[in-house]
């Protein structure tokens, strides 16, 4: 078991914790306007607005959907609604327990290549023969020379 897995005492992995902390620090001056019980508009300091939908688990910045970690807009909505932490909005892949379960079984190293067993009935597959001409500008071999032109 690696040292990283033994020392990790947080619910999320340390890498995910640092990303969430960075997202928390960015959203301090943003304003939140409720649209409904689960939909909120978040206006950033540059006057850009983003829509956070807690029920659909989406944000129009799309970082939450792409990364799987709460974006700054979601964190701002959660702090305005007095959520203690945003762990339930992170993907399970970022939990320390998931990381531990992933690496709990041992992985044996491969033997060196000269120790590999190669079967006798192994087929050799050759690359395809290209029947079509490769793309590009064709050579102009059938051109008729002009009257003043001499062969080079």
Of 51, 53, 46, nearest in space to 26 by CA: 46
Separation of alpha carbons 51 and 126, rounded Å: 54
Q: pLDDT digit string (tens) for 69-107? A: 999 999 999 988 888 778 889 999 999 999 888 888 888
Percent over 90 (pLDDT), the chain: 33
- In contact, 103 and 2? CB cutoff 8 Å: yes
Q: Mark out the alpha helices in 81-134 (DSSP H runs).
A: 96-102
In the chain, % helix, strand, coil (3-state, to 5) comes to: 30, 10, 55
Note the pLDDT of residue 152: 66
- In contact, 77 and 89? CB cutoff 8 Å: no
Note the pLDDT of residue 6: 47
Note the pLDDT of residue 8: 55
Least confident span in 5-9, 48-52, 74-78: 5-9
Separation of alpha carbons 97 and 91, rounded Å: 12
pTM of the full predicted structure?
Answer: 0.63
Sheet of 31-34, strand order = 31-34, 39-43, 49-53, 58-59
């Amino acid at each position: 078991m690696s040292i990283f897995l033994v020392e990790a005492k947080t619910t999320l992995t340390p890498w995910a914790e640092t990303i969430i902390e960075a997202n928390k620090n960015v959203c301090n001056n943003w304003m939140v306007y409720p649209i409904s019980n689960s939909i909120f508009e978040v206006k950033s300091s540059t006057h850009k607005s983003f829509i956070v939908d807690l029920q659909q688990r989406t944000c129009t910045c799309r970082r939450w959907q792409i990364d799987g970690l709460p974006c700054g807009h979601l964190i701002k909505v959660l702090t305005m609604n007095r959520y203690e932490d945003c762990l339930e909005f992170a993907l399970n892949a970022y939990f320390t327990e998931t990381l531990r379960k992933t690496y709990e079984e041992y992985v044996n190293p491969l033997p060196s290549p000269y120790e590999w067993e190669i079967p006798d009935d192994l087929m050799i597959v050759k690359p395809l023969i290209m029947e079509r001409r490769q793309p590009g500008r064709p050579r102009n071999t059938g051109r008729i020379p002009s009257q003043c032109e001499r062969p080079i």
